[in-house]
Structure formats: structure tokens, C-alpha cells
Homo-oligomer: A and B are copies of this chain.
Amino acid sequence: MNVDADALTETRRDLHRHPEPAWCEFYTTARIVEELRARDVDELHVGPDALEESDEPRMSLPDQATRDEWMDRAVDAVADADLVERLDGGNTGAVAVIEQGEGPTVGLRVDIDGLPIPESDEESHAPAAAGFRSENEGYMHACGHDAHATVGLGVLDAVRHSDFSGTLKVFFQPAEERVAGGGPMSRSGHLDDVDFLYAVHIGLDHPTGEIVTGMGGFLAVSGFEVEFEGSPAHAGAHPEEGDNAIQAMAAAITNMYAIPRHADGPTRVNAGVVEGGTASNIVAAEAAMECEVRGQTTELMEYMWDETGRVVDAAADMHDVSAERSLNSRAPSAESDDELAALIGDAAGSVEGVDSIVEHDELGGSEDATFLMNRVQEQGGKACYVGLGTDHPGGHHTSEFDVDEDSLTIGVETLAGAIESLSESED
């Protein structure tokens, strides 16, 4: 296979310099679209056309002021201003399609957003030493989505120049870090004719040269916040006049953790952030918490979602306050299909630089590629989540995270190889 490693590195470094948070991937999307336009793909669905239209605001959508700031920054970094404007309001991301004759429709999903983590400026941190450290101070590609987007473009190129017969769709998905973009993209319609879907993640404590052919163990997840609103009162003079939002929140927290374990499998619950009240001598009228529930299966997650809802409402009633719950993020569980995993193993076997093939690993956490995987699997297709090893100096979501750029070529060749074999396997 004929992969331009230098071009991959250059693209990845440009994206690395411009990390953007969920729903604010304005520069990133514009840059990807520019690349895709240069390639003259058969179809290109950008922003709103790549996602389900919805009357509801996107989950975890930042406010307009924040988005404006990121739009300005993107335009300053020489993104197309008209395009950027189209992407506003939770409409980042893109879907590229190439059609190469009869054959299956194969999808590849990559995600594109960065994180609100300041990037290390130590000499030991390669992006700092080599001059492609984040230009958006306080934000960073600390989970390798810059590499993912790059691999997406690389695979598209490799397949374009191969004997692959069929259709390839590359999904550049926004807002994975908030577990918010997968749902809208899964319901965009673009997945509905996909026979086989791959998704890919770099790193995950696997070294350069190692490929995990199929990952599972995605916990279904719902992230949510709850706002309690009661009535203030002077805690010394008239405690009985208050409706205590902090007391309600405390009752909710304790009892959410005490929801019964479920015999069908692991569940999780966490109240991770709390805030409330104004002064030690005032009965708190307001309190809020950010929480999440998970389950080994989507059903188990929904069990926890329903139970926490009831606990929250009852805790509010108990202290005569109101509780408003809003969903911030959601992803189902999913499993990789063995058939697709096997093809990855086969393809990786002939890729230079691959020295270890692992059949299966568990993610342990959550990821909204599962929305796309489920969509395909529900319609009789197959899906597989591939692990692409890379030597990463710091852990994911740390200031020292980086990828070994050698793994970019490995990833492109492995995925493209498996995709090509899919058109053959149909023969």
C-alpha cells in the first residue's frame, strides 16, 4: 500500500495545533472539509447535513458566547468564515463518501474534538519541542482525536487508490468527549445503508505495533445534571421558612449510590460535581450536581437512569424543593462483531510495523461510537471497534499525552486493508 507518511504527520500536527472542544470543532471541520474538497469525493455532507436535525438543542452544547469565541478563533486561523457559520449551533463534523462500483457499503468512524486540558510546554513533550503545541491555550488534543481524523483521511486516500469495490463512508464525528455527537450522527441517515462499520481508537495503553482487532466492554452511559431550587431563609432567624436545596441534594446523593445492584450485570452511579448555596447563614435556595450512570448493557444503564430519576424527584419532594434534570450525554453499550475483527487481524498481519495482534480488549469506559455501531448492527450490518497501539508518554487526558506518529501509517494500512478485503469477501 502506498501511504504518504509525511502528509499524515503534517495533517495531524496542524490539527494538533488547533484543538477545539465538543461542538466547537470549527477549524477542525473546516480543515477536514478543505482536505476532502481537494480530493473531490463523491459526496460530502458537512455540518448540519452530517447530523440529525433536531428541535432540541444538542446535549452539552456550549452557550453562544463560547461558540462565538471559538468561531472567531477558527476564522483567525484561516478557516472559511461562511463554512464556520454553517457549523454553528451544534453542527460540526462531516461525512465523506466515495463510490467505487458494486460492493458493500463500508463505514469508518473517527472523532475529532479536543479537551479542556492545558498542554505541557516541557521540552520532553514532543509537540512542544517540535513546535506544534496547542495554539489554543488551555485546550489540547489529549486523547488522540487529531490522529483519528488524520487516519480517517488517510484511509479514504488509501481506499480511493485501491481495488476496493463498493462504497466507503468516512464519518468525522464531533463531540465525542462529551458523549454527545454520536447520537445525532447515528440518526443522520448516513449510517442506514452501511453494511460494515469500523471505528478506531489510538493508544489505550497498547504500544506502537500492537493492534486490538475488536474491542468490547463499552459501558452504556448517561451523563446528567440536576438543579434543585428551593427557598432561601435566614438560618438563624427563620430556618423553617427555607426549602433547603442542599439538604435535598444530600438526600439524593446518598440514596442514588444506594440504588440496588442489578443481577444482570455491572452498573455504575456517580455524583461527580456539586455546588450550592450562598452563605453559611442562609438556607440554600439553589444547588446543582453533575452525575452519571452506566450499565454493562443499555438496559442496565436505563435501569439506573430510571432509578436515579425517582430518587432525585423524591429527594426534592422530601425537602419541598423542585428538581430539574437534564441529560448531558448518552451512549449505549456495544460489542464488536468477530467477523470484522478477524479481517482486521488478517490485514494487520501483513502491515509493516505490526508486531502484536490482540484479539480482544475491554474498554471499561464509555464512548459514543456505540451509537453508530448499534445503528448498523440493528439493521443487520456488522460493526467493529479497533484498537491502534501507539507509544504514548502520558496517559489519556493528561497534559503529557502524545502519539507516536509511526502508528498513523500502521492504522491507515490496517484499516484500509480490512476494508479492501470486505469487497473481496463479497465476491
A272 touches B (CB below 8 Å) = yes
A254 touches B (CB below 8 Å) = yes
Docked complex: A251-306 residues within 8 A CB-CB of B: 251, 253-255, 257-284, 287, 290-292, 294, 303
Contact of A236 (CB < 8 Å), options: B268, B274, B283, B313: B268
The distance in angstroms between the C-alpha atoms of A287 and B271, with both chains bound, is: 12
The distance in angstroms between the C-alpha atoms of A292 and B236, with both chains bound, is: 9
Are B272 and A283 in contact (CB-based, < 8 A)?
yes
Are A247 and B254 in contact (CB-based, < 8 A)?
yes
A129 touches B (CB below 8 Å) = no
> A267 — which chain B residues lie within 8 A by C-beta?
261
Could you tell me how many residues of chain A have their Cβ less than 8 Å away from some Cβ of chain B?
Answer: 70
Docked complex: A202-257 residues within 8 A CB-CB of B: 219, 221, 223-225, 234-242, 244, 246-247, 249-251, 253-255, 257
Docked complex: A139-174 residues within 8 A CB-CB of B: none
> A234 — which chain B residues lie within 8 A by C-beta?
364-365
The distance in angstroms between the C-alpha atoms of A165 and B265, with both chains bound, is: 45
> A244 — which chain B residues lie within 8 A by C-beta?
257, 260
Contact of A276 (CB < 8 Å), options: B236, B261, B274, B280: B274
Contact of A263 (CB < 8 Å), options: B239, B260, B264, B276: B239
Q: Assuming A240-B260, A260-B244, is B277 touching A277 (CB within 8 A)?
A: no
Q: Which residue of B lies closest to A366 (CB)?
A: B236
A311 touches B (CB below 8 Å) = yes
Residue from the set A275, A303, A318, A319 with the largest chain B CB neighbour count within 10 Å = A318
Are B246 and A272 in contact (CB-based, < 8 A)?
yes
7 contacts between A and B (CB under 8 A): A223-B280, A235-B272, A246-B271, A257-B259, A272-B277, A275-B275, A314-B315
Given contacts A239-B268, A279-B290, 5 further A-B contacts (CB under 8 A): A224-B280, A236-B364, A236-B366, A237-B364, A244-B257
